[in-house]
Chain A
Amino acid sequence: MNPPKSCISAIVEPIVWISNATPIAPNPDDAREGDCNNHLGVVKIEPFTTTDVRGFPMVAAVTAESVSKGYGDTVALGSVSLFVDRGDIFALLGPNGAGKTTLVQTLTGTTEADSGTVSILGDAPEEVDKERIGHLPQSFTPPERLTARELLSYYAGLYENPRDVDDILADVGLMAVDDTWYANLSGGQQRRVCVGIALVNDPELLFLDEPTTGIDPAGRQSLWSLVRDLASDGTTIFLTTHYMKEAEELADHVALLDDGELVETGSPATLVDAFGGGAQLLVETTTPPTEIEALGLDVDTTETGVRIPDISPVDIGDVVEMLDARDIEYDSIVWSEPTLEDVYLRLTDEVAADDVATGRDLATVGGAQ
């Protein structure tokens, strides 16, 4: 029998943290069960009141409280706090050097935080049963002169109850090359072997540090599908990525990390709604922006023309008519919805998007005149 809600609340004290680790009181008006949201510069995380089959609260999959880590004078993590619920796909976003890998290493216990506390599956990382976790490190290279099958068998041999190797090979789509040496596989196939290695023990909690780096689009889609399947079977997945699209496609919740600081957390949709701004129209033109402004449109100058913010799809036709009426020439008109990338750029003041590898959902509505 499930205990009443009040009973759960009494057992699981709501945990609310801010980025500098000072506890703040939860606001019942804006706290939603299962939601992680916050405001600029302040990370406020509301834990879920997840219960097991008997109705009793389950411990979180991952909690980190005020975790700091530095290497010499370099601050890799500055008082990061986060919470990942069981069964969630949680994506940690950030450019190279943001501190994603350091945070994963801290959570998995392969490096020690300078301060703060970490818990995975209810235990400290060094005490957790290793049979229950899976980990794919960044830039991981297994022994290169073993075949895909041998590698999976090798790592499976380290666990008490490993999965069937054939099943894993099928999951990661490598049955056709199972007897090929790792060194002779393509980059994408190699990464899929590595993902397979992380799955050999059927983990409850899976850390994937940039799992799709170097994988072609088809392989990436295949891995996304695998991740979704794992999550639907109850595996908690903590992944890092600098592909915003990947986080948007997969994650229930994301955290944006920049320069070792957690900038924002929440569901992708929540963050896009809150910080993404409206849809926009990008007009590629050599016409001075003032001439377009004269049409009564609010415009920003871009390198290739102008950007018209906060515009819905139904208004595109009106804009095109206005441009045509004034004989304003343009090479293209592109309408796009806000994405996590916009959220990230806005929140981190990231102007150069070199490290951000995905784009918007583009819908070209005009061509060269």
Chain B
Amino acid sequence: MTTLGRIEAEAGAAWRSFVRRRTAVFFTFGFPLILVAIFGAVVQTNPTGGGLFGHPTGFYVPGYLAIIVLFTPLSRIGSAIARHRDGNRFEKLATTPLARFEWLAGHALVNVGIILLASGIVLGALSLLGANVTLSPLLLPFVVLAVVVFCGLGALLGRIASSQDGVIAASNAVALPLVFLSETFVTPGMLPAWFRPAIGFSPLTYFARGVREATYLHQPAGPDLFVLATLAVVFFVLGSYAIPQDE
């Protein structure tokens, strides 16, 4: 069996396991709709009145997508690792030809599928609410690369946290600051000057910037895509090494 065949086998099992957990499916796809309902319909944007949502809705599309590409892989990969540990599945897989990077690739593939679907739901919902959303072919690589980044980070968290509870707590602790400090809903101008350089350390920043450039500002997004691609490679490698072999 080739690498692709093993990744396909792993991804197929992971996908079936996911779609058969109704609660997980409901909240995975319900979560972005809740976001849109709260921020798009209840709070609403106010381009002329300033405040938290002082820009048109299109400006915040990267923020909505950023939340999905951040939270879903972090919690899903971390939880998958915790479940695998509980069932001694890694101990079994370590004695099969499946390499650790193949396992992560299989699960990243499933997350890409889930997040593309969820992103479609968000964009559709925003359009229904009257937002002027511009689709760009660059959306696809941005979403895929960001998912890979946060799958890798999720694997690292899964390695550190020893239980599903621990993974969820760690995911929230990492994700929440990133959401607000990565040029998603909060612009750099709203942050203290001394903190602004730290924005560059968040991988999510390059996703949010790039998507905004591609879908709202209509500016070249190549540099941000390049940085995100580099980070995807780094986090994928680190995440692969983080996957346990003896539990």
Report which A residues bind B (CB closer than 8 A). Answer: 105, 108-111, 130-131, 133-146, 150-151, 153-160, 162, 181, 197, 201, 207
Contacts and interface: CB of A to CB of B under 8 A. Distances in A.
Contact of B16 (A137, A146, A155): A146
B246 interface: yes
Contacts of A136: 92
Interface in B2-22: 5-6, 8-10, 12-14, 16-17, 20-21
B1 A110 contact: no
Nearest to A140: B88
Contacts of B10: 154, 158
B162 interface: no
Nearest to A125: B95
B165 interface: no
A157 B97 contact: no
Contact of B1 (A144, A160, A207): A160
Interface of B: 1, 5-6, 8-10, 12-14, 16-17, 20-21, 86-89, 91-98, 245-246
B228 to A, nearest CB: 31
B103 to A, nearest CB: 10
B246 A158 contact: no
A158 B89 CA distance: 14
A134 B97 CA distance: 11
B97 A130 contact: yes
Contacts of A156: 9
Nearest to B93: A158
A108 B16 CA distance: 29
A33 to B, nearest CB: 31
A201 B95 CA distance: 11
B246 A110 contact: yes
5 contacts: A109-B94, A137-B92, A140-B87, A146-B13, A158-B6
Chief secondary structure at chain B's binding surface: helix
A148 B246 CA distance: 24
A201 to B, nearest CB: 8
Nearest to B12: A154
Contacts of B16: 143, 145-146, 150
B200 to A, nearest CB: 39
B17 A145 contact: yes
Given A158-B96, A160-B1, 15 more contacts: A105-B91, A105-B246, A135-B95, A137-B88, A140-B91, A140-B92, A141-B87, A143-B89, A144-B17, A150-B13, A151-B13, A154-B10, A157-B6, A159-B97, A160-B97
A131 B6 contact: no
B20 A145 contact: yes
A194 to B, nearest CB: 9
Given A145-B16, A145-B20, A158 B94 contact: no
Greatest chain A CB density within 10 A among B14, B87, B88, B98 is at: B88
Contact of A139 (B88, B94, B98): B88
A109 B89 CA distance: 15
Contacts of B93: 158
Nearest to B2: A160
Contacts of A131: 97
B9 A158 contact: yes
A105 B247 CA distance: 10
Contact of A111 (B8, B92, B246): B246
A135 B5 contact: no
Given A141-B87, A142-B87, A154 B9 contact: yes
B24 to A, nearest CB: 10
Given A141-B88, A145-B16, A145-B21, A110 B95 contact: yes
Nearest to A131: B97
